[in-house]
Structure 1
């Protein structure tokens, strides 16, 4: 049996955490099974099994439109608020940062590094106190700061953003910061993925 995720050992799998983060943190949006599978990097069958469990448990709701099955968060239960808060502080950085950075001009790539990326990759340890983000590109520094503040409020933890140029990121370098980031777990944000 696969180990439970280090970010939230209460969950069965990382896919379950990713699915819950995407759906619970965007409660006004409906997702198709295919969209969820693509976002989580798994098969539609795996997502369908998880959606059926979560629907039976009253966490998600679904409806059929033609041959498609659309899924969204159930916000009318006592579970919604505490569960969405818990998911936000554990699995929330990926969908929320992806959404925020996808809309910011000048961002070429973005990665989460540090303790959050280590827990996401399965390294055991205490819950991360903050989220470290590396932004490759030339976005406006003020817009990047405002974005980090907004996401920090939603996550309930500090988001630290470090910006570097695409040339610095692509080059072989002895820069201690870039070297340390590359040697530890990195989680790339899929900025082409639609999350809204």
Structure 2
């Protein structure tokens, strides 16, 4: 349910037009606690027991009095300190504000999606006005682009081939991207209830000046009586280390429901602990029961910056396969009448099929990757059948030059490649059920 929808339903059912989307946003960011009367209507709309909301409100008040906060993504380290977030951020002091860092982390680390101003405000832990101001500056600089859907303005990372985008994305991944990457990797492990970040990174994030963080310290809280799989935690730690390019240590403890804030062992008294949202994937990738060749090729492409690791909802190949199936269906309908257009659709479907297998492994082509990377990576792991991905891509590029003698395809080519791409789709669908995260 969006903030607009929740506000609208609350206003309707309570008869209070003063309940607006901005008010809901303040509740979500922890800047305000819903009053008792409002909580009663919230329990009706959200179908949550009133008592549960009252307990949460009491806990929020205690945290506010103690100076603690639960931080999700890139929210401020302490409630009520939105103004402090505008100052020079010790985590990456060349930026004008921590708000700017939060916006860039959200957009550059998720280049395939758009964000509303409200979503970016949640990531950056700032007001809508502050986020709007920073967005306009970043758009003027060519780092973000915007579009409108009705009355909502959506922002996303600019063209991925821009000269600044790749290096800037790497900076954001190593600094403000830490909560997202940790949340993605450990959020995919069943049995992880809460995650807290401590150490020097948490100090810098909270605004305490000092040296650059040289490692990441985690505390993983698990439900009483439930122990996460040690191998799954090790894979999550290994992938997070590779993505963050710094060592990571973690400790697991049983979850104490009476604790408002988790505390990292050996954390210095008075130093902040940043609690991170566990970003759950749409479906948890199964452990691999496919013996993958080409691991050296994948490691080489990762170290060369051609492939990057992803987690959370992005580590899901199903949407790619679904879109590839739609492309193939469209190609079948127009095949005889427009063979060139049909061939381009088939080439795009093949790329999507390759991207699906990479996504299922928690991989994707990086911002500055060469065009052949998807085909190369998939062929190295799953066999020569997938070399058709690169062959189709090369052939479709010839169609981009209408004056070339190779700029047209024959109906026979189209008929053959329809069968080829259908077979690739069936094979990839079967493989997707058997492969897990690459590590």
Query: TM class, shorter-chain normalised?
Result: 0.7 to 0.9
Secondary structure of the corresponding residue to residue 180 of structure 1: coil
Residues 57 and 88 from structure 1, CA distance in 2 versus in 1: closer, same or farther, beyond 3 angstroms? Answer: same
The equivalent residue for 1:44 is 128
Instruction: Tell me by how many angstroms 1:29 deviates.
Output: 1.6
Picking from 272, 281, 296, the partner of 1:185 is 272
Aligned residue runs from structure 1 range 64-103, under 5 A: 64-74=148-158, 75-103=160-188
The equivalent residue for 2:115 is 31
Does the 8 Å CA contact 1:112/1:133 hold for their aligned counterparts? yes
Say if 2:232 is the partner of 1:143: yes
Separation in 1, partners of 2:123, 2:188? 17
Q: C-alpha offsets along residues 28-57 of structure 1, whole Å, 9 cap, x if unaligned? A: 121111111122222222211111111110
Picking from 98, 107, 119, the partner of 2:192 is 107
Cα RMSD (Å) of the superposition? 2.7
Runs of 5+ consecutive residues of structure 2 not aligned to the other structure: 1-83, 282-311, 314-439
The equivalent residue for 1:14 is 98
Runs of 5+ consecutive residues of structure 1 not aligned to the other structure: 171-175
Does the 8 Å CA contact 1:113/1:181 hold for their aligned counterparts? no
Separation in 2, partners of 1:115, 1:72? 30
Secondary structure of the corresponding residue to residue 178 of structure 1: coil
The equivalent residue for 2:215 is 130
Does the 8 Å CA contact 1:136/1:169 hold for their aligned counterparts? no
The equivalent residue for 2:247 is 158
The equivalent residue for 1:173 is none
Q: C-alpha offsets along residues 89-126 of structure 1, whole Å, 9 cap, x if unaligned? A: 11110121123333332111111100100111111111
- Residue correspondences, number: 192
Secondary structure of the corresponding residue to residue 153 of structure 1: helix
Q: Which has the higher helix share?
A: 2
Separation in 2, partners of 1:31, 1:186? 27
Q: Which 10-residue stretch deviates more, 69-78 or 113-122?
A: 69-78
Does the 8 Å CA contact 1:169/1:178 hold for their aligned counterparts? no
Where relative contact order (Cα < 8 A, 6+ residues apart) is larger, the structure is 1
Separation in 1, partners of 2:267, 2:244? 25
Instruction: Tell me by how many angstroms 1:186 deviates.
Output: 0.5
Separation in 2, partners of 1:169, 1:182? 20
TM-score after normalising by structure 2: 0.41
Residues 6 and 140 from structure 1, CA distance in 2 versus in 1: closer, same or farther, beyond 3 angstroms? Answer: same
Does the 8 Å CA contact 2:218/2:264 hold for their aligned counterparts? no
Separation in 2, partners of 1:180, 1:38? 27
Separation in 2, partners of 1:192, 1:155? 17
Does the 8 Å CA contact 1:39/1:193 hold for their aligned counterparts? no
Q: Which has the higher strand share?
A: 1
Does the 8 Å CA contact 1:54/1:60 hold for their aligned counterparts? yes
Separation in 2, partners of 1:177, 1:185? 10
Separation in 2, partners of 1:139, 1:31? 33
Secondary structure of the corresponding residue to residue 35 of structure 1: helix
User: Greater CA radius of gyration, 1 or 2?
Assistant: 2
